[in-house]
Amino acid sequence: MEIINQEPVKINQKWCKGCGICTSFCRQEALALNEQGRAVLARPEKCNRCGLCEDLCPDYVLTVVDRVQHREPDQPNGSGWPGIVAPRLADRQVKPGGEGPGTGALPKSELERYLRREKMPHLWCAGCGNGLVVHALLKAIHQLSLDQNKIVAVAGIGCAGRAAGYLDFDTLHTTHGRALAFATGVKLSRPELTVIVLMGDGDAAAIGGNHLIHAARRNIDLTAIVFNNSIYGMTGGQYSPLTPPASRGTTAPYGNIERPFDLPALVQGAGGTYVARATTYHTRLLADLIKGGLTHRGFAFIEAITYCPTAFGRQNKAGSPADALRWQRDRAMNIQAYRRLAHDEKKDRFPIGLLYCSEAPEYGASYSALAAK
């Protein structure tokens, strides 16, 4: 039996990579790593069932039994998700810090419904944030009760692109940068399917940048999630169009001299009608925003700020995966609060939340209308 039933935390040690996120975030110091570097509940009596470890484990190892509900309830009106979600999210005042982890976990038993278990644990490095993005996606899908048989996940090439292989939907792992174009074909031939596109930052913004702006311009009904880890992870750490200035890449050994894209601004400028950003620390916000994207009729774009401890972290001495999550927590700021900042106060912050939302004709709908004439 691989699940160690150690109340109050169930631990699936086989999937644990010893990244240290859970132990670092557990305020009660209930968790520890054993000699093999796997998580154990060293002091069960100290656990207050807050569930933070469950939310922040990128490898779906931990389940907190009877976790306490705190902060905001997961669904805004408590009774399922309203039909059109985006404007509500925009209206909603999300308190800074209120969108962090702590609520709305997808219980492991439910999460595993959406995973190809035989392929787990996933291939991502210890502490890689990609698992957190996938967790948020599955949470959103679960909460919307979407039909698993009617979802197609289309992914590009790179570490992020490997997400598709773990998802128990129809999944399409395409060529580098082209996921949105493949997804366009899937969506147009079967409009009833929910089509989700998973891309890395190089995938979406460098080699696939043209497809990104054109998918946004057409406002085609896809939900695109960019795993922005600021680097080319799969190929070992070359700089990407999202690498911050002066950060190192293996192809920027003296520091990056290029200016990065502001991806949400790019997508908005290109005509995207739902533009959002969250981090892997803000797990619930990320899931909410994905949920909003999935219910939005048109091109929905969600930038997930994530951390690559291996290809970005090492050469930039950016710290442990837990440090990176704290960095995300401290630097990211809710968009409403961010807008109120003075110009120079914005310097070291970046906005998260629903950044832009509008309505425009959706490509598939326009095509159907034309065909009906």
DSSP letter for 118, please.
G
**Binding partner of residue 1 among another protein, ligand TPP, ligand SF4, none, CB under 5 to 8 Å per kind?**
none
Judged by CB under 6 A, the residue of 9, 10, 21, 223 near ligand SF4 is: 21
Judged by CB under 8 A, the residue of 42, 115, 181, 365 near another protein is: 181
Q: Which of 299, 152, 284 has the alpha carbon at shortest distance from 224?
A: 299
Question: Which helix (H) or strand (E) element contains residue 372?
Answer: helix 363-372
The smaller minimum CB distance to ligand TPP, of residues 158 and 298, is found at 158
279 near ligand SF4 (CB under 6 A):
no
**Binding partner of residue 203 among another protein, ligand TPP, ligand SF4, none, CB under 5 to 8 Å per kind?**
ligand TPP
Segment contacting ligand SF4 (CB under 6 A): 76-84, 258-266, 304-312, 335-343?
Answer: 304-312
Segment contacting ligand TPP (CB under 6 A): 156-164, 257-265, 278-286, 339-347?
Answer: 156-164
Residues in the chain: 373
Q: Strand, helix or coil at 351?
A: strand
Specify which residues 351 forms β-bridges with. 333
305 near ligand SF4 (CB under 6 A):
no
203 near ligand TPP (CB under 6 A):
yes
Residue linked to tokens 């192809």: 251
Instruction: Answer whether the bond into residue 8 is a cis peptide, omega within 30°.
Output: yes
Residue 142, CA atoms < 13 Å, CB-side half-sphere? 22
**Binding partner of residue 357 among ligand TPP, another protein, ligand SF4, none, CB under 5 to 8 Å per kind?**
none
Angle at 305 between CA 55 and CA 48, to 5 degrees: 20
Judged by CB under 6 A, the residue of 9, 26, 39, 179 near ligand SF4 is: 39
Judged by CB under 8 A, the residue of 148, 250, 320, 336 near another protein is: 148
- Strands 223-228, 194-200: parallel, antiparallel or unpaired by DSSP? parallel
234 near ligand TPP (CB under 6 A):
yes
Q: How many residues bind ligand TPP (CB under 6 A)?
A: 17
C-alpha R_g of the chain: 20
* Integer CA distances (angstroms), 137 to 53, 283, 351, 358, in order: 18, 10, 20, 22
**Binding partner of residue 188 among ligand SF4, another protein, ligand TPP, none, CB under 5 to 8 Å per kind?**
another protein
Shortest distance (Å) from residue 372 CB to another protein: 9
φ, ψ for residue 3 (rounded to 5)? -80, 120
Residue pair 308/242 in contact by the 8 Å Cβ criterion:
no
The smaller minimum CB distance to ligand SF4, of residues 295 and 310, is found at 310
**Binding partner of residue 77 among ligand TPP, ligand SF4, another protein, none, CB under 5 to 8 Å per kind?**
none
172 near another protein (CB under 8 A):
yes
Q: Rounded to whole angstroms, how far apart are CA atoms 157 and 190?
A: 24
Judged by CB under 6 A, the residue of 9, 151, 278, 308 near ligand SF4 is: 308
Question: Which amino acid is located at 208 in the chain?
Answer: G
The CB density around residue 269, as the number of other CB atoms within 10 Å, is 14
The smaller minimum CB distance to another protein, of residues 89 and 204, is found at 204
Q: Rounded to whole angstroms, how far apart are CA atoms 258 and 136?
A: 31
Q: Catalog residues that contact another protein under the rule CB under 8 A.
A: 116, 119, 148-150, 152, 154, 164-165, 168-175, 178, 181-190, 192-193, 210-211, 214, 367, 370-371, 373
Q: Catalog residues that contact ligand SF4 under the rule CB under 6 A.
A: 16-22, 39, 57, 59, 61-62, 124-125, 128, 130, 159, 229, 233-234, 308-311
